[in-house]
Amino acid sequence: MLDNHQRMRRLSEATRVRTGRIRSDGPAIALIAVGAVIIRGIVRWSGFPFVGDWVPVGTSYANQSYSPWNYLLHNGTFNPNLRLVWLFEPLGHLAGQVGSWSFSLANSTFLAIVAILPIVTAFWTLRPIVSQRLLLVILTLFYALNPWITAQDASGHVGVMRC
Amino acid sequence: MKAVRAGLLLAVIFDLDPHMGVIAGACVVTTVVLRRLSIGFNTATKNQIVGLKEFAIAMFVTLLCSLYWLMPDLAAAQHLAYVPVAGKEPTSTLSSLAQFDDLLHLMGLRSFWWAPFSNGFYGSGIFRSLLVIGLICGPVGLILRALLSTHDRGKWELPALWIMVPVAMTQCAHLFVTTYARIVSLPGGNLFRDPNEALPLMILGLCILAIDAQPVVLSRLGQTLLGVTVVASLVPWATGNLDGYLEPLASVGTQEQTVSWLNDHAGSGSSTLWLPSDSYLTTDWSSKLITDPVSYWTTVTVINPLEDPAYDFSPATTLATDDLESLLRNARSLGELGHALAAAGVRYVVVRLDSNPHSVVEQYHWSLLHIYGVHLVQKFGKEDIFEMPGPIRAFGTVTHGMTLYGGTWTDMEQALGIDPKDHRTFVNIGNLETDRIVYLSPLTTLVTDDIQASAIAIGLTTVMPLSSTRQTIVVDNELMHLYQDGQKIVVHSNGFFAMHLLGLNDGTSEECNGRKITQLAVYQQPDVGSARWIGFNCRGSAEIRFHGSVWVGRVQSSTAKNYAERLATVESLIRHGGSAYMIPFDQFSSVTNEFAMLSDSQNPLVLPPGRYQVHIACNETCPPTRIRLLSAAKGLHPVSPELKNGAFLSTRNTPPVTAFRNEYRLLITGAGATSFEELYLEKVPQGSNKVDGAVNRHSSQSLSFHSSTPTSVISLVGSPAPWELTGAAKQSYGPLIANMYGNALGVSGQSATISLGYLTEVEIVGMVLSGATLVLCVMFLVLKAPFDRKRRDRHRELKNGHP
């Protein structure tokens, strides 16, 4: 049987561990919250997620994307997106037919990932080298959502998912 | 192990965006170089040398992992007829890309060239001013702190370098655009034609400044300033969908249904064209500018060009489409345009009446409804599908030779009018600078209405570039630059100098080596709404001064001998069986109260021997017209006796085919000159380059052909794709842009297999190498991980003093 004193000590220790964990996880929690806020209006079950140069892709584009010469696009042209075949081919097949619910969901989710991935990669990179928690959050957001990245996102330049 | 991991990471970055790959590489190189400089090359430790080895391994892994696209790209650069990145970057484009590269925008990292993103995202009025200050205070605070700090300056050399490089690039592009154009025109420089692509380097530099400031604590003020910048940066994101840009559109009108119908009906081999053909659309169903999705959603070929010159692998398609839209917008020369489109392989044209500007789209619609033979076959909402009159050009055809023509839709329409049922292979005479074999071949024919213009277009000449900072338009397949009243062009001429002009109302004055030119060697009468050539003989400094605004297209110089040879070549081409020479109305003198085609008695037009016919086209239905031969030269009597005596009736759809020979005088009486849109005297072809053989399509990438003649021309619908012949036949010239939207290849041999996807082999090799590298790297990382973990544990134990 533990006496009251011991019980109180253990409780305070547990509280301290919990508080410490929350403190150390604080930046991650804050960034998750920011991420959730900035993409809350993007993911949808219906609609056509266009943005700048980005056109939502489906099965038909997935079938075009692996060939170095695209016979269908622009009266036949060199395929400049061959380097992204590993990204567009699965995405296109996942999206399915144009106008379907899967098409909307897959493409809008992809855009949401494009928007939040810089936060994830910046946090992952900076966490081992930035000891101050507030500075970690500020620097992560500065790196991931600065006006240059914002303009690239709005232009539909999906390669902005920089690691 | 670190090197392999870094290599894989770099490969992902490089594949996602080559700009970022280069920046990541630059970061690593500058870090290594600065470190070695700081320690001195001769005193480098073993560990630091190992660091260089690791760097080399990482680069090698990155390269191997990216071969799946690098190899086809490099192979394409070797084999494609036109590679846009190899072109010189126009200063007008660079000026546009660098327009927001002033220091205020740059320090706020919002120097992106598109105003809605660089300015529009950040509100207006006082709110915007506050945000602008908020955006720059963090970066400026970090830089000032680094500059003013006195201790450990060596730590800031690297971030200072990373910040300075993009600043220098953007300021160079912003303030000295011509110099920057020269830099980015160097091999590989095109990657940074938009100097803002280098900005991530600056962002990294700023982050390093903030991180390095940690031990001395980034002061509370510093953190607050950076925090203000972050809050200002988050403003566009506050809506949860980036100010509406990332929110899906609720509808795309009836595009889906139209695409689906065309997928079911167009069939393989034929093409579709969507109007307006712009790459970016503003529509009734979207408040924002969107990229035309049709090309990405279709399973049939879509012609709509990629109009950005930096990424356009087929500028000929873009120019042809611009020319077509210009014709439809102005309702010019619409008569047989449907047949011309069919001869180019276009089966369906879709007009999107829900696109802006509505007035232009409605004009396209009206014009298509009034083209002979074009039918409205289907309608989805505000999207109308028109079918061209048959026969639509087959995906592949074989002809004896090729027919040279002027290169515009109007020229194509004229050429088709001579023998509309015969699908020749039409090649733009202006695209043959390096293919002498084509115009020296006895199988090549020519359809022209101007010997001088054809001679100027053909053969080897020095084409002079015009200033790219001027306002430009595309007229009849040609890019033209605006020159104002009093401005001049001065160039070095090698003997013959010629210039293509539009809107020349007030004349020009020409000088050669300071002496005034009194007699022009070429002074072509313009076609309706088209340009004209002027030219003169000059060896030395040729100058043309404009009296009034004028659009200037091609400017060229050649030796007088070369020009004389080209004239002789054109004249010999006209004599080939199947060639046709059309004399337009404006080359005849007029007679009061009558619409007459009279050759000038002082300067009679001497034509090559042959049969000629009168060609008439009218705006609407042609009025009853009387055409009478007034006289012919002695000994050259008309073949058709009834023509000599009087007249015959001409209507639009039954053009008169009446033969007579050589010098002539024709009198046309009827409703008056304004009723006629075109009036030509055409040489009747004596046989032509008929279809003679067949192309069989085995798959999308494999075809075969057979021909009854030892040499022939294979033409395909679609842009000039890379070809490879396997079998008995050999390529003799080409591929050349043919039939406006197609391509043609001269071959010797009567049968062969044509492989359209020879790049596939390169791609497979690249994919195998990349895949193998990836697998080996992953295996290496997985297998080596336990050993590394054990080594780390042992090292930790030894450090802690335990056995």
CB-CB under 8 Å, A60 with B117: no
User: Does the distance separating the beta carbons of B80 and A49 come in below 8 Å?
Assistant: no
3-state secondary structure of B346: strand
Test the B interface: residue of A75, A79, A109 with most B CBs within 10 Å: A75
Searching chain B, which residue's CA lies closest to the CA of residue A129? B211
Kindly report the nearest CA distance between residue A154 and chain B, in angstroms. Answer: 6
The alpha-carbon gap from B111 to the nearest alpha carbon of chain A, in Å, equals 7
Asked if B290's CB is within 8 angstroms of A50's CB, the reply is: yes
Cβ contacts (< 8 Å) between A50 and chain B: which residues?
248-249, 286, 288, 290-291, 293
Q: A130 — contact with chain B (CB < 8 Å)?
A: yes
Say which residue, B387 or B51, is predicted with more confidence: B387
pLDDT in tens, B528-549: 456 788 888 899 999 999 888 8
Cα–Cα dist B227/B232, whole Å: 9
Backbone angles phi, psi at B742, to 5 degrees: -120, -165
Query: Tell me, what's the pLDDT at B676?
Result: 55
- Residue A13 Cα, gap to closest chain B Cα (Å): 27
Task: Give B203's Cβ-side CA count (13 Å radius).
Answer: 29
CA A162 to chain centroid, in Å, comes to: 10
Residue B175 CB contacts under 8 Å (≥ 6 apart), including other chains: none
| Residues in chain B within 8 Å Cβ distance of A55 | 290-293, 296-297
Contacts of A105 in chain B (CB under 8 A): none
Residues 6+ apart with CB under 8 A from B473: B479, B480, B482, B551
As to burial, measured by CB atoms within 10 angstroms (0-12 exposed, 13-18 middle, 19+ buried), residue A100 is middle
Chain A residue with the nearest C-alpha to that of B346? A75
Q: Residue B507: what residue type?
A: G
pLDDT tens-digit series, residues A47-77 = 999 998 899 999 999 988 887 888 888 888 8
Q: Could you tell me if B568 and B584 lie in one domain?
A: no
Split at pLDDT 50, 70, 90, the class of B619 is: low
A150 touches chain B (CB under 8 A): yes
pLDDT at A15: 64
Do B272 and B340 share a domain, yes or no? yes
Q: Does A140 touch chain B (CB under 8 A)?
A: no
pLDDT of residue A111: 94
Q: Give the pLDDT mean for B597-613.
A: 51
Alpha-carbon gap, residue B440 to B451, rounded angstroms: 16
A113 interaction partners in chain B (CB closer than 8 Å) = none
Cβ atoms B21, B198 nearer than 8 A: no
Rounded distance between C-alpha atoms, residue B511 and residue B641, angstroms: 51
Name residue B199's amino acid. Answer: L
Residues B725 and B702 placed together within one structural domain of the fold: yes
Q: Would you say residue B659 has pLDDT above 50?
A: no
Q: What is the pLDDT of residue B611?
A: 60
pTM: 0.82
pLDDT in tens, A88-134: 999 999 999 998 999 999 999 999 999 999 999 899 988 888 888 88
Query: What integer pLDDT is reported at residue B621 of this predicted model?
Result: 57
Asked whether the beta carbons of B800 and B793 are under 8 A apart, the reply is no
- The number of helix segments (H) and strand segments (E) in chain A equals 6, 2
> What's the gap between Cα A105 and its chain centre?
15
- Domain final residue, candidates B209, B244, B279: B244
Based on the domain organization, do B235 and B260 belong to the same domain? no
A151 close to B117: Cβ distance less than 8 angstroms: yes
Q: Token pair of B626, please?
A: 């009387």
CB B585 within 8 A of CB B597: yes
- B624 and B698 together in one domain: no
Tell me, what DSSP letter sits at residue B624? Answer: P
Q: Taking residues B687-693, what's their average pLDDT?
A: 69
Number of cross-chain residue pairs from A and B with Cβ atoms under 8 Å apart = 272
Euclidean distance between the first and the last CA atom of chain A, given in angstroms as a whole number:
54
Greatest mean pLDDT among B149-163, B205-219, B339-353, B724-738 lies in B339-353
Closest-CA distance of chain A to residue B784, Å:
23
Written as six digits, the tokens of B403 are 């027919």
Write out pLDDT tens, residues B662-675: 334 455 544 444 55
Is position B440 within any domain? no
Query: Which of chain A's residues have a Cβ under 8 Å away from the Cβ of B251?
Result: 48
Question: Looking at the complex, does the CB of residue A76 fall below 8 Å from at least one CB of chain B?
Answer: yes
Cβ <8 Å between A75 and B223: no
On whether the CB atoms of residues B314 and A74 are closer than 8 A, the answer is yes
- Dihedral sign of CA atoms B163, B169, B170, B176 in order: positive
Residue that finishes a domain, picked among B193, B212, B244: B244
Q: Which residues in B lie closer than 8 A to residue A73 (C-beta atoms)?
A: 295-296, 302, 306
HSE-up of residue B357 (Cα within 13 Å, Cβ side): 4
Of B548, B574, B600, which one is at a domain's C-terminal end?
Answer: B574
Beta carbons of A130 and A139 less than 8 angstroms apart: yes
- Residue contact A74–B314, C-beta within 8 A: yes
B175 with B322, same domain?
Answer: no
C-alpha torsion angle, residues B169, B173, B174, B179 (rounded to 10): 120
With vertex at residue B775, the alpha carbon angle to CA B770 and CA B776, rounded to the nearest 5 degrees, is 100
Whole-number Å distance between alpha carbons of B393 and B717: 8
- Burial of residue B802 (CB within 10 Å: 0-12, 13-18, 19+) is exposed
Chain B residue whose CA is closest to A40: B240
Residues of B in contact with A128 (CB under 8 A): none
| DSSP line for B741-771 | TEEEEEEESSEEEEES-THHHHHHHHHHHHH
Pairing of strands B664-669, B594-598: antiparallel
Selected residue with higher pLDDT from B620 and B778: B778
For every residue of B89-140, which 3-state class applies, written as one string?
Answer: CCHHHHHHHCCCCCHHHHHCCCCCCCHHHHCHHHCCHHHHHHHHHHHHHHHH
Q: What is the mean pLDDT of residues A141-153?
A: 93
Contact residues on chain B for A130, CB-CB shorter than 8 A: 211, 214
- Structural domain harbouring B753: 693-759
Residues 6+ apart with CB under 8 A from B634: none
Q: Which of A39, A52, A162 sits opposite B20 (nearest CB)?
A: A162
**Interface with B, mutate which of A46, A70, A110, A146 (most B CBs under 10 A):** A146
CB contact under 8 A, B314 and A41: no
Q: Are strands B711-717 and B742-748 parallel, antiparallel or unpaired?
A: antiparallel
B530 secondary structure, DSSP code:
-
Decide the pairing of beta strands B445-448 and B580-584: parallel
Q: Which of B188, B16, B96 is nearest to A159 (CA)?
A: B16
SS3 (DSSP) at B26 = helix
Q: Which of A147, A18, A65 is nearest to B196 (CA)?
A: A147
Of A71, A111, A115, the CB nearest to B301: A71
User: What is the Cα B37 distance to its own chain's centre?
Assistant: 46
CA distances from B16 to B300, B563, B724, B734 (A): 28, 51, 31, 35
Cβ atoms of A105 and B795 closer than 8 Å: no
| Every domain of chain A and the residues it spans | 25-45+113-163
Tell me if B117 and A77 make a contact (CB, 8 A cut-off). no
Torsion on CA atoms B346, B731, B406, B395, rounded to nearest 10? -10
Statement to judge: residues B584 and B638 lie in one domain? yes
Query: Which residues on B lie below 8 Å from A104 (Cβ)?
Result: 248
Number of domains in chain B: 6
A:9-68 residues touching chain B, CB 8 A cutoff: 34, 37-42, 44, 46-58, 60-61, 63-64, 67-68
B204 lies in a domain? yes
pLDDT of residue B606: 52
According to DSSP, the β-strands at B515-516 and B508-512 are: antiparallel
User: In chain A, what residues touch B9 (CB-CB under 8 Å)?
Assistant: 163
Nearest to A67 by CA among A78, A59, A57, A58: A78
Using a CB-CB distance cutoff of 8 angstroms, which residues of chain B are in contact with residue A46?
248, 250
User: Position of tokens 């100027």?
Assistant: B456
Q: Are residues B473 and B517 in the same domain?
A: yes
Query: For residue B249, is it within any domain?
Result: no
Distance CA B105, CA B99 (A): 10
Q: Considering the domain boundaries, does residue B82 fall inside one?
A: no
Q: Which residue in B729, B763, B727 sits closest to B749, CA to CA?
A: B729
pLDDT at B787 exceeding the cut of 60 = yes
Q: Of the candidates B214, B238, B271, which has its C-beta nearest A130's C-beta?
A: B214
DSSP structure string for B235-288:
GGGGGSSTTTTTSPBS--TTHHHHHHHHHHHS-TT-EEEEES--SEEEETTEEE
Tell me, yes or no, whether B654 and B751 share the same domain: no
Name the residue among B206, B109, B180, B479 with its Cα closest to residue B320: B479
The C-alpha atoms of residue B549 and residue B613 are separated, in whole angstroms, by 39
Rounded CA separation B453/B429 (Å): 10
Most B-contacting residue of A55, A74, A132 (CB-CB within 10 A), to test interface: A74
pLDDT at B634: 38
Tens-digit pLDDT profile for residues B431-474: 776 677 888 888 898 888 777 888 888 865 666 666 666 777 77
Nearest Cα residue in chain B from A46: B250
Contact B727/B743 with Cβ under 8 angstroms?
no
Subunit contact A71:B718, Cβ cutoff 8 A: yes
pLDDT tens-digit map of B264-305: 888 766 789 999 998 899 999 988 888 999 989 998 889 998
**Nearest CA to CA, how far is B326 from chain A (Å)?**
19
Bridge-based pairing state of the strands B550-558 and B515-516: unpaired
Residues B229 and B98 in one domain: yes
Q: Give the chain B residue whose CA is nearest to the CA of A152.
A: B112
pLDDT band at residue B420 using 50, 70 and 90 as cut-offs: low
| Alpha-carbon gap: B509 to the closest alpha carbon of chain A (Å) | 43
**pLDDT for position B613:** 63
Task: In whole angstroms, give the CA distance from residue B517 to residue B511.
Answer: 5
SS3 A15: helix
Q: Residues of B with CB below 8 A from A27's CB?
A: none
Mean pLDDT of B138-163: 80
Residue B416 lies in a domain: no
Say whether both B559 and B608 belong to one domain.
no
**Is the residue at B284 inside a domain?**
yes
**What residues of A are in contact with residue B721 (Cβ under 8 Å)?**
69, 71, 76
Q: Which residue has the tokens 């370098």?
A: B161
